[in-house]
Amino acid sequence: MDIRPFIDNYVLCVELVKDNIVTIKRKTVMSRLSLSEQCSINNILGQIYLRNIAEDGLVYMTDEINPLKMTNYLCGLDKYDIDREDIYSYVCRYAQKRINRFYVSLKEGNESSLIISLSQSKILNKRETEKAIALYRKKIEIRKKSKCRLLCGI
């Protein structure tokens, strides 16, 4: 799966998630999707949100994944008989959970857990991995300086 089309400016992505999670309750979102639909969407989202490096070596953070683009992708699969807005709300809730975990790790200064998937990557050779880790650390410093806050919905 090519991840590059889903990556966007982290400020924009966080704003999209924030704007959605304050409009609809989590319980309402969950009630509109069946368990099998949730599992299927979770599998696809997990492939993207639980990694931080693309096949071509592109380093990205959890908060750089655009929920609108993810929703468009999921709707384009024609696997789900769900309203587009419900999928978008679910993607935003999933993103909220992943972004909050990422920000908590940043606040705790637990960088080793953030970089682990890069260092265990079989995609890159040693030199590329070192370059990717340096870029990732640079992005972490940017997030720390911007004082990222946890996302809270209703």
First CA to last CA distance, the chain? 32
The answer to whether residue 114 scores a pLDDT higher than 70 is: no
Q: How confident is the model at residue 121 (pLDDT cuts 50, 70, 90)?
A: low
Asked if the model's pLDDT at residue 91 lies above 90, the reply is yes
Asked if pLDDT for residue 4 goes beyond 80, the answer is yes
**Looking at the chain, how many residues does it have?**
154
Overall average pLDDT of the 136-148 stretch: 85
- Provide mean pLDDT across the span 7-36: 94
Phi/psi for 61 (5° steps) reads -110, 160
Is the dihedral angle over the CA atoms 85, 88, 90, 92 positive or is it negative?
Answer: negative
More confident residue, 76 or 53: 76
pLDDT of residue 48: 86
pTM score, two decimals?
A: 0.87
Helices assigned H by DSSP within the chain: 10-21, 26-31, 35-49, 67-76, 84-108, 111-119, 126-145
- Domain boundaries of the chain, sorted by first residue: 4-145
Distance between CA atoms of 35 and 62, rounded to whole angstroms?
24
What are the distances in angstroms from CA 92 to CA 96, 113, 128, 132?
6, 23, 32, 27
What CA–CA distance (Å, rounded) separates 99 from 65?
10
